[in-house]
Structure 1
Amino acid sequence: MSGIVAAYGPFDPRLGRRMLERLAHRGPDGEGSRQVGDAWLGHRRLAVVDPEGGGQPLANDAGDVWLVGDGEIYNHRRLRADLGEQHFRTGSDHEAALRLFDRDGLEGAQRLWGTFAFAVAGEDGRFAAIRDTLGVAPLYWARRDGTVLFASELKAFDEDWRPEVEPFPTGQAWTPRDGLCEWSSSLSGPTALMRSRASDEDPPLWVFDAIRDSVVRAVETALRADVPVGAFLSGGLDSSVICAVAANAVRARGGTFHTFAAGLSDSPDLLAARRVADHIGSHHHERVYTAEEAIELVPDVIWMLESFDPMLIHSAVPNHLVATLARDDVKAVLIGEGADELFAGYSHYAEIETGEALREELLETIRGLHNLGLQRVDRVTSANGIEARIPFLDLDVVDLALALPPDWKLTREDRAEKWLLRRAFEGWLPDDLLWRGKQQFGQGTGMKDVLSDHFGRTVTEEELEQERDAVDPPLRTREELAYYRIFREHLRGIEPDHTIGRFVEA
């Protein structure tokens, strides 16, 4: 992921340059900025597509429309063919978004397929900021005295702007003329064909084929890059499936796929990852760390994560350590995020008894991904100068998964959690790994107990009672208060009530 800053209205470029400096970790490969009419655009670049010629801001032929973007436009090759390759000046995927906006305005965004956030401005006063359907690419904004300001992370904003900062809505665009408007279709519902089947029927075999084929295509798409691509491998179902597919695709091209894992010595995830790597034949890298190392990293992780939620921190610490390992060998990584939300993998889903109730819970979870799991993925990879790619959140996979009858996803005595996904990939992994029970990443790596015990001891029950209501909803545990104090120190001025996502359970 790269870093963007954009402003519309009266604006001091010195503020923009300060903001870009705070995003330097997101873009170690270049920096650029430009005043365009009533707008200012700034960019910090992580070069993944067209490393030599794709610097930003990008301009059209006339030099009067410019764009800065973060993330990936996965269908840019098809768009180039439709728009005319002769009109393109670079190999950058974001140039397709620029050309569409220049020709069709905001309506052109409906043809984009990918995970992105961008701002585009014209000398004629046109301006738009846009974020992808699921919010995989981060974007925040603040409005004051006729100026609208955008950035990829909370920490980019000057302290006096931070009380106004909010997450930019997913699947939305903003223009000076129309304000906020929805540009992407909402998450789909079950198709008529799927609804025609009884909920207690086993799915037809083609359903498993469709799930597998969609995931395989999404992984193959995510492997496209002009730089080396690897994957985080936790040993759980989701990352193991992604790695098995990727290793097979890379081997077919005559290459060897790189996988990366981190954990405490002999932690369950680390042991499982070794077995998966051996089975798929990947070049496997490990980072074994101590409890003391993990504890010492927490303040830095809270700063990069921009959250004080305990569950996020439990997983962000090992994620950060595996990212520091991966950055020496690859520039982009595949990550298994999203499968739990699409196929009902979390333990609390097992308590839901009806398909309709499960569907509503899944949709609510997916809508909240952008400032929970996806925020963790984005921040820890961006802080280490690598790009995260998430095949399970490819929109084709999302559409298919949400079109399946939710009753098929219910956990029953004869159906483990995510059984649809497990069945679809039978034969790709050893059965004991394919049907291994779900563990939260912070639990499998050993982080949950280590961090909860240590930071819980730094706060008393009396202090928790006194400070519990500092945020809404209230702080839940002594551990969470300890993290909140660190967050408040590192991100002064941020109003957490409307910017920070938090899991229901600590």
Structure 2
Amino acid sequence: MCGIVGIFDTRGQRAIDPALLSRMNETQHHRGPDEGDIYTEPGVGFGHRRLSVIDLASGQQPMFNAAGDVGVVFNGEIYNYRELTAELEGLGFAFRTNSDTEAVLHAWEAWGEACVHRLRGMFAIAVWDRKQQVMFMARDHMGVKPFFYAVLPDGMFIFGSELKSLRAHPGLSREIDPTAVEDYFAYGYVPEPKTIYGGARKLAPGYCLTVRIGQPIPAPKQWWDVPFKLHEKMTEQDAAGELAVRVREAVQSQLKADVPLGAFLSGGVDSSAVVAMMAGLGSEPVNTCSIAFKDKAFDESEYAATVARQYNTNHHVETVDTDDYALLDTLAGLYDEPYADSSAIPTYRVCQLARKRVTVALSGDGGDENLAGYRRYRLTMAEDAVRSRIPPALRRSVFGPLGKYYPKADWAPRVFRAKTTFESLARDLVEGYFHGVSIMSDAMRERLFSDSFRGRLQGYSALEVMRGHAARAPTDDPLSLIQYLDMKTYLPGDILTKVDRASMAHALEVRVPLLDHKLVEWISGLSSSLKLKDGEGKYIFKKSMERHLPHDILYRKKQGFAVPLAAWFRGPLRQRVRDSLLGRDLAETGIFNVAFLRELVEQHESGRRDYSAPIWTVLMFEAFLRKELEGAGA
């Protein structure tokens, strides 16, 4: 695990400034505190920061082949590197290390761009092939590892594991992309392939990019996608049995490490299943890490302790004050662009705890997207069942006005909170799902932005992100489609971003066996009725784990990593909210309707409305802007 950076002259062989490359590299020191190095030649520069996990004695990067004409920098882990090494040795390649990096290097020499189809793991890769005058870059199947890049006006191509490494280059324009702002206030993050800057991009999951000197830079090319190709019909019992075998195999494939290894254990289904599988694969107790909250309304530590006792793990728990809002500014620096998932706070703390015990931790991330675990899947399918029975024109004419005029009743019992449902029913499936997951609705964003900023958007809506993915989806099954949308937006943009930055801030490698691409492919072929059945999300997964986990772990009400934003904003952070949302800095951007910001603050403070999620989203945007101003000053 590590951080990578690079500079590539797309127009020739201009000199690369080693001091600049080194500064870019050192912005990511936290990703790899064990070692670091840079390499330059005319037209090409590579930088690498290393967190040593496999082959501690060798495997340093940048790494070149024996002839010195092919080099690689690589962030991640290739779990099948031993099998690859054996295959490549059979093809005549001689290995000088026992590292997965060298397997990637020779895989490029053997198979070129097709090498990515041989890799099983999480990775962001850049290969320089001097013979072909080609720079090849690729990102893993699901987007576990990040890859940022930019083409500068002078033809220099720069890349890095975090956006801060690109910002260290003076040639990068930091002009904010208006459409990324619109996306952020809908989703709470900037979805791939955009960044907050118009001049920088993310390489999307399952995409690669080949740049040749002297040729126009092509669009990135998709090399993998979730297939959603249905299996031959199987019984529920057979599906549950095979799923358990495949989950165990995915976990086993990710247990290779030459450093201490453990797991996160929240007490939820996914992390508990990963720990259960780990416990059955080794002779030593599993190292598990959990955090507890002082406020019992947010605490799941008792459930984690139950699983820890069942499998006799070396269990470590630390109690976190629920009012852990001191991290707000830390998060703004960590994520480099606006990011509004408040569960980043407890995620940061559990990574901090885990790093005291291990260097590598397995997590349960991805289970909800893979196996339809989110409550919103159940609600969306219920809405779609109604939607499918009523002609679109009638739906719009009936539910449109109901959604518009029905009062927003956050304070009322759930049965009376029908406004969002009515609004969704007036839309088609994709637009209804987008409306349901948006932090701020279309109507709220319309009021949030100033007239001048809406003019800059030129009619653009964040819905276009989901529309684009839906148009390319390999399935028309309603549940599979919304899972696919989450796999393209929420999973890489929010969940995996959160875990990567929080873990690497502490030089901790996190692996995600439930997102092993072979497992994802197989699960995608299961019937939707096995994933969501009789209102039970992750139905077949829970069935597959009944032999391994207690009923109370599998079937209790889902509880996420939450923080008490509403109370914070009416209490200890009240003045911070006023200073940030109603202060001069946001007003001077010209982006916001200041009168609406004041309405958000005052209605939330009074208790008339719960605007905690929109306020947090604006608060994190303001924190990002302050970091930007500090950087400009520096």
- SS of the counterpart of 2:263? strand
Cα pair distance change 1:87/1:335, threshold 3 Å: same
Residue 47 of structure 1 is aligned with which of 52, 77, 81?
52
Q: Is the 8 A contact 1:171 1:184 kept in 2?
A: yes
Cα pair distance change 1:112/1:483, threshold 3 Å: same
Q: Which amino acid aligns with 1:463?
A: L
Q: Which runs of 5+ in 1 are unaligned?
A: 198-202, 495-506
| TM-score in terms of structure 1 length | 0.87
2:375 matches 1:344 = no
Residue 61 of structure 1 is aligned with which of 66, 90, 112?
66
- SS of the counterpart of 2:37? strand
Partner in structure 1 of residue 432 of structure 2: none
Higher CA-based Rg: 2
Counterpart CA distance in 2 for 1:175 and 1:340 is 33
Partner in structure 1 of residue 465 of structure 2: none
Partner in structure 2 of residue 18 of structure 1: 23
Residue 97 of structure 1 is aligned with which of 92, 104, 107?
104
Shift of 1:13: 2.6
Partner in structure 2 of residue 503 of structure 1: none
Q: Is the 8 A contact 2:250 2:514 kept in 1?
A: yes
- The CA deviation string for residues 30-68 of structure 1, in whole angstroms up to 9 with x for no partner, is 001112453211100011111111111111111221111
Q: Which amino acid aligns with 2:303?
A: A
2:335 matches 1:305 = yes
Cα pair distance change 1:450/1:259, threshold 3 Å: farther
Counterpart CA distance in 1 for 2:260 and 2:302 is 25
Counterpart CA distance in 2 for 1:452 and 1:110 is 48
- Choose 264-273 or 39-48, whichever is displaced more: 264-273
Counterpart CA distance in 1 for 2:581 and 2:64 is 58
Structural mapping, 1:267-416, within 5 Å: 267-292=298-323, 294-310=324-340, 312=341, 314-353=342-381, 356-368=477-489, 369-412=491-534, 415-416=535-536
- SS of the counterpart of 2:506? coil
Q: Is the 8 A contact 2:532 2:539 kept in 1?
A: no
- SS of the counterpart of 2:281? helix
Q: Is the 8 A contact 1:69 1:94 kept in 2?
A: yes
Shift of 1:492: 5.1
Count residues with an aligned counterpart: 475
Runs of 4+, deviation exceeding 4 Å: 446-457, 464-469, 491-494
Counterpart CA distance in 1 for 2:519 and 2:588 is 43
Counterpart CA distance in 1 for 2:101 and 2:57 is 14
Q: Is the 8 A contact 1:70 1:137 kept in 2?
A: yes
Shift of 1:364: 0.7
Partner in structure 1 of residue 622 of structure 2: 485
Structural mapping, 1:34-183, within 5 Å: 34-84=39-89, 87-124=94-131, 125-144=133-152, 145-158=154-167, 160=170, 161=172, 162=174, 163=197, 164-177=199-212, 179-182=218-221
Counterpart CA distance in 2 for 1:471 and 1:141 is 29
Shift of 1:291: 3.4
Q: Is the 8 A contact 1:48 1:226 kept in 2?
A: yes
Cα pair distance change 1:478/1:305, threshold 3 Å: same
- SS of the counterpart of 1:100? helix
Counterpart CA distance in 2 for 1:388 and 1:101 is 26
Q: RMSD of the alignment, in Å?
A: 2.6
Counterpart CA distance in 2 for 1:208 and 1:436 is 19
Shift of 1:462: 7.7
Shift of 1:109: 2.2
Shift of 1:249: 1.7
Q: Is the 8 A contact 2:80 2:253 kept in 1?
A: no
2:541 matches 1:421 = yes
Shift of 1:280: 1.6
Q: Which runs of 5+ in 2 are unaligned?
A: 175-196, 386-475, 598-612
Q: Is the 8 A contact 2:581 2:619 kept in 1?
A: no
Q: Is the 8 A contact 2:231 2:526 kept in 1?
A: no
Counterpart CA distance in 2 for 1:429 and 1:182 is 42
Counterpart CA distance in 1 for 2:292 and 2:592 is 32
Structural mapping, 1:192-271, within 5 Å: 193-194=232-233, 203-250=235-282, 253=283, 255-265=284-294, 266=296, 267-271=298-302
- Choose 378-387 or 107-116, whichever is displaced more: 107-116
Q: Is the 8 A contact 1:335 1:390 kept in 2?
A: yes
Q: Is the 8 A contact 1:240 1:276 kept in 2?
A: yes
- The CA deviation string for residues 67-103 of structure 1, in whole angstroms up to 9 with x for no partner, is 1100111111111111107611111112111101123
Identity rate, percent? 31
